[in-house]
Amino acid sequence: MRSNIFNGMEKGWVVAVRGAALSLIWIVALLFSACERTLEKDVIVDNLIYGIDTIPVYSSSAEKDKLKTTTQFISTAYSQLYLRPIPSGTLNELSLLRSAHGDKNMIGELVISHFLADEVVLASFPDEEDMQADPEAFVEQTYLRFFLRLPTAYERYALSRQIAGDSETSVLEVYRAFLLSNEYLYY
Amino acid sequence: MKRRDFLRNSSLASASLFTAPFILPSGRVFARSGSRLVNHVVFVLFAGGIRNQESVDQGYLSTQGAGSSGNILPNMLSGAGPGGALVHDPWVPALGSPISQQGTLFRNLRYAFGPTGHYNGHTVAMTGNYTDTGLNLNLNPDFPTVFEYYRKHSEPAPNARSCWWLSTELGPYPSLNFSRHPEYGPLYGANYLMPGYGLGEAAVQYLGGLQTLHPEEVSRVQGIKAQLDGFFNQGPAQASGVRNTDEDTRSIQQLYLDLLSGNDALELPLPDGIPSYLLSGDGANIATGWKILERFQPELVVINTTNSDVCHDNFSEYLIALHKADYAVGWLWKKIQEHPVLANDTLLICMPEHGRNLEPNGLVDANGLRAFDHTSDENSRDVFALIAGPPSVVAQGRVVGTPSSPVGESIDIVPTIAHALGFLEAIPPGMLPGRVLNEAWA
């Protein structure tokens, strides 16, 4: 059941970022040959931001202790919803927009709402029926997609239970909650 | 230890999200303090670097040897306008009598220490402490801002929607809504908005069609988010800025969406017959500030104007910008006096962040007028301050200070605001080196 629900999403994800991955391999190669160690870390971070692979990047949330910048927050959310890197013009405009407000969470909610109102984004969502049919599989894939890690057993149990216990809960609402969570502010 | 402090502050921040405001029968969110002079303060940082020669001295073109003297700030100051050889198109004042007649003018007030840079000047005015930082670093200031003092030391504690900082530009200015001080910070910060971007074209494009979520949807999302947050060992991020309560977040989002969708419109500070394309950035900032005042009646608002900084290379445009900013301030004061809650209960303070040099910089504009920089000469440390308010609170039509005997300093505005809003005594000793500008009171 799990693979039936999410295979399409995984494939699309990989295809969408293949070009970016090849570019980053070249960049990493250049940095290994010429740059200091701190720059290597930057490139690794970029890999995480653009979600190049669906395999777990973090073994636990405790590994996330750095705050995303405005640029990182917006570009990460965009790429994980649209399954492709954000155009530079859009990133610049949305970064300025976020900088122009003092409550970053409040304006972040609106930017996320803009993304989540796009038909292109909604088309990549799994079906509601599939989520309700196998909440645990949905929870695992959602953790991977947005938190880049697998849920702990209790996290999987708790969220699955919440989804199963309220038939009104939608994929959109779960995704919105992940994007607005404290963990999503960190990498 | 730092981590422990962070977690403690984060917990406090989280707890504050669930603190419901106390709504008084009058509609006020917070009770009046007995020691307050007023319940609202609007501080207009009449910034961009304004020379006293063109403001309170009313020199107009005479200091250039190119024309008459005269008052170019008819909404703020008393005095006849320039007689001839005008480089600006005079606008009919928004007010029947200037604000100085409804308050006290500190004609010569000192910006005593530190570089006369824009960010420095803003920082000094908003923290009440001089700073020698010479660069426009995109860092929150070291000393607490007036917003943090207000939120930490007022009883009952105001929420973030009670105080606002609006700037005409981005750059380092978004950093002035809270400090890096370990005892204060974003937990006590103000809401910030730069209307040019925050409500500009990109905002309309990306957010204009959005609608606020249905309460049931909000409830379900918050339930899941709370669960996710419960599993994560970091609290709300300090770098995520000031935090509003959930209720306030919805109301502020609603205001933004109303404006972006066209369901609500900004009133523009322009005289009848003046087309909207002549609205300056300063005017747009003040118009947005008024919308926030009108919608939320916050207790503390700081708004800046900066267009006059064009004086670096164009003295004529500097005069035009001054004249427009003056109109916007007069328009704002008129709006405040027409509002049922704000009228007769609001203190208005206007002060440039610093002045400009006595000597020109060598650049000449199309009218042959010389331009001026601001490089910390004595002239650039000479500014004015205007404090207006109800006659029972503020001395009306009083003028204090002379060039040879200035009264007050830039660092005095924060303690003056703190006194007016009744929280000065609660601020720990040693935090504010300035004094209350008591000469202003009736």
Q: What is the pLDDT along chain A (187 residues), one digit of tens a residue?
A: 333 212 333 333 333 333 333 334 443 343 333 333 333 333 333 334 444 456 678 888 988 988 888 899 999 999 999 999 999 999 999 999 999 999 988 999 999 999 999 999 999 999 999 999 999 999 999 999 999 999 999 999 999 999 999 999 999 999 999 999 999 989 9
Query: How is residue B103 written in tokens?
Result: 């308050």
pLDDT averaged over every residue in chain A? 77
- Under an 8 A CB cutoff, do A182 and B224 touch? no
Q: What is the pLDDT of residues B304-318, one digit of tens each?
A: 999 999 999 999 999
Longest C-alpha distance within chain A, in Å?
55
**How many beta carbons lie within 10 A of that of residue B251, not counting itself?**
15
Which among B220, B227, B239 has the least Cβ separation from residue A173? B220
Is B15 among the domain residues?
no
The ipTM estimated for the assembled molecules is: 0.88
Which among A99, A105, A183 has the least Cβ separation from residue B170? A99
Is B181 among the domain residues?
yes
**How many beta carbons lie within 10 A of that of residue A60, not counting itself?**
11
Task: Phi first, then psi: give them for residue B398, nearest 5 degrees.
Answer: -85, 145
Is B314 among the domain residues?
yes
Contact B166, A100 (CB under 8 A): no
One-letter amino acid of B290: W
Q: How many domains does chain B have?
A: 1
Contact B81, B326 (CB under 8 A): no
Q: Please tell me which residue of chain B has the smallest CA distance to A68.
A: B239
pLDDT over 90 for what percent of chain B? 84
Peptide bond into B275 cis (omega under 30): no
- Under an 8 A CB cutoff, do A61 and B256 touch? no
To test the contact with chain A by mutation, choose from B231, B252, B285, B301 the residue with the greatest count of A C-beta atoms within 10 A, namely B231
Which among A114, A173, A178 has the least Cβ separation from residue B217? A173
Mean pLDDT of B20-36: 45
- In angstroms, what is the C-alpha Rg of chain A? 17
Given a cut of 70, whether residue B10 has pLDDT beyond it is no
Query: How is residue B341 written in tokens?
Result: 């809650």
What integer pLDDT is reported at residue A67 of this predicted model? 85
Find chain A residues with C-beta within 8 A of B189's C-beta. Answer: 102
Tell whether B357 lies on the interface with A, counting CB pairs under 8 A: no
What integer pLDDT is reported at residue A26 of this predicted model? 41
Helix (H) or strand (E) holding B104: strand B103-110
What integer pLDDT is reported at residue B135 of this predicted model? 60
Is B235 among the domain residues?
no
- Under an 8 A CB cutoff, do A162 and B194 touch? no
Helix boundaries (H) for A117-179: 119-123, 128-133, 135-142, 153-165, 171-179
Is B399 among the domain residues?
yes
Query: Can you tell me whether residue A47 is helix, strand or coil?
Result: helix
Which among A94, A114, A183 has the least Cβ separation from residue B210? A114
Domain limits for position B59: 37-199+274-440
Nearest-angstrom CA–CA distance, B349 and B113: 21
Category of B355 on φ-ψ map: left (φ > 0), alpha (ψ -120 to 50) or beta: beta
- CATH number assigned to the domain comprising residue B145: 3.40.720.10
Give how far B204 is from chain A: nearest CA, Å.
10
Contact B147, B181 (CB under 8 A): no
Is B263 among the domain residues?
no
pLDDT averaged over every residue in chain B? 91
Find chain B residues with C-beta within 8 A of A153's C-beta. Answer: none
Category of B211 on φ-ψ map: left (φ > 0), alpha (ψ -120 to 50) or beta: beta
What integer pLDDT is reported at residue B137 of this predicted model? 65
Task: Phi first, then psi: give them for residue B67, nearest 5 degrees.
Answer: 165, -160
Q: What is the pLDDT of residues B68-124, one digit of tens each?
A: 999 999 999 999 999 888 999 999 999 999 999 999 999 999 999 999 999 999 999
pTM of the model: 0.84
Q: How confident is the model at residue B212 (pLDDT cuts 50, 70, 90)?
A: confident
Given a cut of 90, whether residue B30 has pLDDT beyond it is no
Sign of CA dihedral B147, B152, B155, B161: positive
Q: Which parts of A70-112 are beta strand (E)?
A: none
DSSP tag of B266 = P
Nearest-angstrom CA–CA distance, B376 and B373: 9
Nearest-angstrom CA–CA distance, A157 and B222: 18
Which among A62, A67, A182 has the least Cβ separation from residue B229? A182
Is B193 among the domain residues?
yes
- Under an 8 A CB cutoff, do B231 and A61 touch? yes
Q: Please tell me which residue of chain A has the smallest CA distance to B199.
A: A97
Contact B230, A162 (CB under 8 A): no
Residues in chain B: 442
**How many beta carbons lie within 10 A of that of residue B101, not counting itself?**
15
- Under an 8 A CB cutoff, do A185 and B237 touch? yes
Query: How is residue B109 written in tokens?
Result: 């007030």
Query: How is residue B58 written in tokens?
Result: 């009313």
From the list B106, B121, B114, the residue with the least C-alpha distance to B408 is: B106
